Amino acid sequence: MTKRTSLRALAAIALACCVPATALAALSGAGTVASPFDSGQWDSFQLVATPLSPTEGPADEYFGRFKFSNLEVRNTVKDLRIEGVSSLALDTQRFHIEEARQALVGWMEKYPRDPWIPGTMLGFADQVHARSQPDLDMTALFFYQYLSTHYAGHYFGKTADQRIAGFEPNAGYDISSAFDPYFPLSYVMDGIYPGTGK
């Protein structure tokens, strides 16, 4: 036995001791599955998908007719909480509610995956419903229903379901207290040029 043959025998013994039998079979090609038959025919198809929108809307993008940013919408909700539900403040609040409503709708259409939307929407709907006005109740119901549908099983969806279940619309609609669609000019100017109507 030559030196080269003995080295080969030792290598074979070492390999057999260290490598499992299944791995040896794979290395040798024994027991491998034959590749599937390729017919050479190709099926073509067209996949059409719109790209996902960015998750968060930038703070310097403006929505709605009054050009509110998402920060201004959130600040309006905060202001409504602070101001309370006094009927004396309602006339001024209605204009800011409309500004925020239009911007919120534009914001949720363009950035539906923005994580700030459900909390802002729930807070806005709560504040609008707290004003005890029949026309504003419809706005609140719209946002509650949106949350219930799009965030089902989530905290915001469950909370919206509770709000809908306990929703008590205002009885009667006094036309004399209905909102005047003709805003005072100072409110309109404040919507276009913030701060000038004060």
Distance between CA atoms of residues 83 and 25, nearest Å: 79
> Which token pair is 89?
């403040």
User: For residue range 141-156, what is the model confidence (pLDDT) as tens digits?
Assistant: 889 999 999 998 889 9
pTM over 0.75: no
> Does some domain include residue 36?
no
> Does some domain include residue 77?
yes
- 58-67 mean pLDDT: 83
> Does some domain include residue 55?
no
Q: Smallest Cα–Cα separation from 116: which of 188, 95, 124, 186?
A: 124
Distance between CA atoms of residues 95 and 185, nearest Å: 11
User: For residue range 117-133, what is the model confidence (pLDDT) as tens digits?
Assistant: 999 999 999 999 988 88
> Does some domain include residue 109?
yes
Looking at the chain, the whole-number percentage of residues with pLDDT higher than 70 is 64
| φ/ψ of residue 30, rounded to 5 | -75, 135
Distance between CA atoms of residues 97 and 142, nearest Å: 14
Range of the domain at 186: 62-169+180-192
